[in-house]
Structure 1
């Protein structure tokens, strides 16, 4: 059961978090592996993710990502680019947590579980960002960005600490995304 269920839940949670931020969930996974927190083990072929070099590189990339997402205009471009990069990052994160699988099976699990999950959340995030830009002329985007940072961090943390809660978290996130998109779409565009 540990071979599939817990890694699948952990992978789903990290992938959903990666759908909002490319590097933050990878940084959290890297730190978890590097410092041996929460009993998370990485697949041998993804061991590099727990290295000091990966931790430092992901720290820099996360800082850059979080900072640039607060800049109007840049945030929309980064969001569109994220629709390509986030599924790849999610596939890496998900494949990495299948510690007891053959490396090729872990990579396939990452592609099957991680990439589509991240793409779904990244697409929803892009839609929310587009609706916000259209209805508030981008004024609400920095606030939405900070909320997305919090959601990404919290989802990844729950996945790392208590992965069995991830189905509930994903249901709640789906409902919140649905409500946010409906709310922004019902607003009139600025004059």
Structure 2
């Protein structure tokens, strides 16, 4: 049943999911995260979609340090029931949630909401350098630096604040010096 947690009998050092994934609707091409925070010792977390194991690939599918599942550049094929399975010894707990992929024309929420689930992967890339080198349009690099690449640049913010092209030109001139 989506959004529910099933637990084995309690034991010393209870194994339980403290933050379970929730059903989400995500726009095609954006990113989303399903949390799975588990208490317990020596816990292994594995994800499955519609009963089949989900394999992190470092680009499209990532597992965050706290066990959450991150999907970048979501496609209709990513839609389905996702289950977080946590194991320690002979004990296990699981929690499930549905991901529904919306076509851009079906988008209900602003894109900034989907960026809320966006995190950088500093162990895989130097995100400050990716932003500085203007590589955020590259799908490979932006998948590691989702949060950094989603933030407006200081030039964009300044331009947006006063609405003038002049402010942008002044920034560019000062950068050349």
Q: Mark yes or no: TM-score above 0.5.
A: no
* The structure with more helix, counted as a fraction of residues: 1
TM-score, normalisation: structure 1: 0.29
* The structure with more strand, counted as a fraction of residues: 2
Question: Taking CA–CA contacts closer than 8 Å with sequence separation of 6 or more, which of the two structures ends up with the larger relative contact order?
Answer: 1
Greater radius of gyration (CA): 2
TM-score, normalisation: structure 2: 0.31
